[in-house]
Structure 1
Amino acid sequence: MLYNLHWPQELWLTPLLLLVVVLASVLLPLPAAYHPLTLYRYFARALGQKVNPDPNRPRQQLYISGTLALLVATVPLLALVYSLLQFSELPQLFDALLLFACLDWQQRRSTALQIQQTLQRNQLALAREQAAALLLRRRDNLTSMGLSKALCESLVLRSSSEVIATLLWFLAGGGLAALSYRLLLVLQQQWNSKTIAGRHFGRPVSLLVQLLSAPALLFSCSCLALHYGIRRCWRQWRTANQLTAAQRRNFGALPYCLLCCAAAALRRSLGGPVYYDEVKRGRSRITQIQEPAAADISQALKLTRQNHLTLLTLAAVIILLQLTWLLNY
């Protein structure tokens, strides 16, 4: 019977907590030196160097080492957090703290804006050094245009994987789910399978992150398509969709789709070959009317902010629906 229906209590606080924590992370961001993820990055890097000293070992052995290292780096910490969560008298507050520890987008945004200012002062060498925090690829051969393009791509992709995906997993499973995903993402970034050292060792965590970040990539693509025109984004995808099998592997289907939508929204060309550890990886060029410039870095940040605001708006709508439900029933 309808009058016996009650909105689940667990769904009441989660979107509200999400809004509060995101607001806190924007107004009171932790400095990079004191952020928990910074410490975990150092740990992941050291563990990778210890467990994977020789990337020329047999592929199967590297897969096994990567899988075991993944378990060592995540299971004990998550088990400890789960135990604390079970004994916590304020589990919602604990969830909020976990989500706060997973968000460091303001650092990315600040770094990107610093690089933009450096490029506008024509200090290309300094900008290349600053971009190390955002780019894995080789940077010493990038022009100002190439660096601007790489940063636009990185910001759009990182926004989806680091922010949207984390928030979606928080909505789906609370703070522990968000933390689990974020730890895996840090491992994937530190043991990146695009590098020679992580080509096989980082493959297990890379596949896992690709699967877990897929909903966020689809959400980001949908947001950009709705904001800037589904037809325009579809036309961009059809025009640029001339990939060989190797190029598809280097791009990935969903990241490629997201970059097509971003190129259509920015009206700037993206994609093209990149170098990792002196190895050239072919990628399809996503051609637009103009090449990116330094000023387009802030435009890419605007795209990411729109996606973030869309998700936050959906969380607010959920809260309003719950309020309406409670008032009526």
Structure 2
Amino acid sequence: MNLLIDQFGSINLLPLYSVLIVVLIERHLRLADKFHPLTFAKLVALRVAYKVHSKNPGTPLQQMIAGTLAPIVLLSPFMLLLAVLIYLSEYPIFFDSLLLLLALRFTPVMMRIKKVERCLKTNKKTLAKQHLQTLVLRETAQLSPFGIAKAAIESLMLRFAAQFCCVIVLYLVGGGLLALSYRLLFEFSQCWHTKQGSYAYFGKPIRLCLALILWLPARITALCFIIGQNISQGLRALTQGKNLLCSRYFVLSLQGAALGVELGGPVFYGDNKVRLAKCGGTRPIALEDINRALNGIKKAQWVFLTLCFIACLLLNIGT
């Protein structure tokens, strides 16, 4: 018993305690998008893409080379400066926690989804589309209320994996610098998304990089969700899925099955129609499923943090 108490006070668990504190701060801290550093980073990314790519796209190979070099040029000086500051600081855990707070920005996503739900319930479909458009790249103009609800749920689930779970996993593995670097890469990838025709090649390198980084956290995310929502239905999707190597399909398949609703299907990106595989449950989306998804994500957050705590504690005991 004394050994267990000593383990809780171990300095090796400080990063985990900082995660818990930062999650609580991020949940209650209200910082407008226009004042957040990530917004500035996205503006810089768009400007760089305009300078490097839009004026003279070049061949597909040249675009891919430019897309590989662009994030390196943008991140290297900034991350080097931060690394030096952390190294010279007397309390590096404080700066690590601050970087995590910058990287961990998921509560505004949940608030935006809640606004979409309220607008749909009051028949404000145009306003619901405007809120949704800030979260998705797909075309929302022609979506029905149920199409809006499906897009909102899919965006919520995918962003939970990318903006919450993956950020925390990388922080526990490599500190705040790694977490913030990943989050900036994620924001760059949203600005240079390959589903936007002009960035089909320019954005490909960063998309491949993120796919590798997200592979394991996406699966942990889905498992945490089905543990909190409906583990039997979620696990059944593992035996029925046809493309579970794809992180997007894995997340939507398991979490949609746990909710019992069908996700996926055709999506318009501008004038391009992309036929995505249907997955999840068999029941069509209903408006009340948005609230069920939000509640499921809240439970999944605590399941995920609990698993992180257990894993860190076991690793600390092992060492």
Aligned partner of residue 134 in structure 1, secondary structure: coil
Code of the aligned partner of 2:211: Q
Instruction: Out of 108-117 and 230-239, give the one that drifted further.
Output: 230-239
Higher relative contact order (Cα pairs below 8 Å, separated by 6+ residues): 1
Residue number in structure 2 paired with 1:33 = 34
Superposed displacement of residue 215, structure 1: 1.7
Structure-2 residue corresponding to 1:217: 218
Matched position secondary structure for 1:284: strand
Change (3 A) 1:56 1:175: closer
Alignment match, 2:20 = 19
Give the letter aligned to residue 117 of structure 1. Answer: R
Give 1:268's aligned amino acid. V
RMSD across aligned positions (CA) = 2.7
- Specify the SS of the correspondent of 2:194: coil
Please, which moves more after superposition, 120-129 or 50-59?
50-59
| TM-score (normalizing by structure 1) | 0.87
Is 2:258–2:281's contact at 8 Å kept on the other side of the alignment? Answer: no
Aligned to 2:263: 270
Cα deviation for residue 100 of structure 1 reads 0.6
- List per-residue Cα deviations over 1:37-79 (Å, max 9, x = no partner): 1111111122122211058631101001101111112111111
* SS state at 1:113 partner: helix
**Separation in structure 1 between the aligned mates of residue 70 and residue 193 of structure 2, nearest angstrom:** 14
Residue equivalent to 2:279: 286
Q: CA deviation at 1:315?
A: 4.0
Alignment of 1:123 with 2:116, yes or no, is no
Query: Are 1:41 and 1:186, in contact at CA under 8 Å, matched by a contact in 2?
Result: yes
Greater displacement, 192-201 / 25-34: 25-34
Give SS of 1:52's match.
Answer: helix
Matched, 1:52 2:45: no
| Identity rate, percent | 30
Structure 1 residues 238 and 18: CA distance shift in structure 2, 3 A: same
- Give 1:15 shift: 0.5
* SS of residue matched to 1:272: strand
SS in 2 for 1:270: strand
Residue 233 of structure 1 deviates from its aligned partner by 2.5
The 2-side partners of 1:24 and 1:202 are apart by 33
Q: Aligned pair 1:257/2:250, yes or no? A: yes
Closer, same or farther in 2 for the Cα pair 1:289/1:80, shift >3 Å?
same
Counterpart of 1:286 in 2: which secondary structure?
A: strand
Q: Which residue of 2 aligns with 1:198?
A: 199
Structure 1 residues 178 and 11, CA, compared in 2 at 3 Å: closer, same or farther?
Answer: same
Secondary structure in 2 matching 1:283: strand
Q: What is the TM-score normalised by the length of structure 2?
A: 0.90
Q: Distance in 2 between matches of 1:32 and 1:192?
A: 20
**2:114 aligns to what SS in structure 1?**
helix
Asked whether the equivalents of residues 144 and 293 of structure 1 are also in contact (C-alpha less than 8 Å), the reply is no
Q: Is the 8 A contact 1:170 1:178 kept in 2?
A: yes
Q: 1:12 to 1:147 in 2, by over 3 A?
A: same
Give 1:233's aligned residue: 234
- C-alpha change, 1:157 and 1:306, in structure 2 (3 Å) is same
Measure the CA separation in 1 of the matches of 2:138 and 2:132. Answer: 10
Do the aligned partners of 1:264 and 1:288 also contact (CA within 8 Å) in 2? Answer: yes
Deviations 1:100-137 (A, max 9, x none): 11121111111111111111111111211111111110
Question: Do the aligned partners of 1:111 and 1:130 also contact (CA within 8 Å) in 2?
Answer: yes
Q: Give ranges in structure 1 of 5+ residues lacking alignment.
A: 242-247
Task: Tell me if the contact between 1:55 and 1:198 (Cα under 8 Å) persists in the aligned partners.
Answer: no
- Residues 230, 259 of structure 2: 8 Å contact kept: no
Alignment of 1:104-143 (within 5 A): 104-143=105-144
For structure 2, list consecutive stretches of 5 or more residues without a partner in the other structure: none
Q: Which amino acid aligns with 1:206?
A: R
Aligned equivalents of 1:58 and 1:172: distance in 2?
38
CA deviations 1:151-173 (Å, max 9, x no partner) are 10110010001100000001111
Residues 34-113 of structure 1 mapped to structure 2, 5 A cutoff = 34-53=35-54, 57-113=58-114
For 2:181, the equivalent position in structure 1 comes to 180
Answer yes or no: is the 8 Å Cα contact 2:231–2:258 preserved in 1.
no
- CA spacing shift, 1:55–1:168, aligned 2, 3 Å: farther
Provide the rounded CA distance (Å) in 2 between the counterparts of 1:106 and 1:174: 21
Corresponding residue of 2:301:
308
For 2:249 and 2:181, locate their aligned partners in 1 and report how far apart those are by CA, in whole Å.
25
Give the residue type in structure 1 aligned to 2:253: C
Deviation at 1:291, TM superposition (A): 1.6
1:245 corresponds to: none
Distance 1:63 1:289 in 2: 39
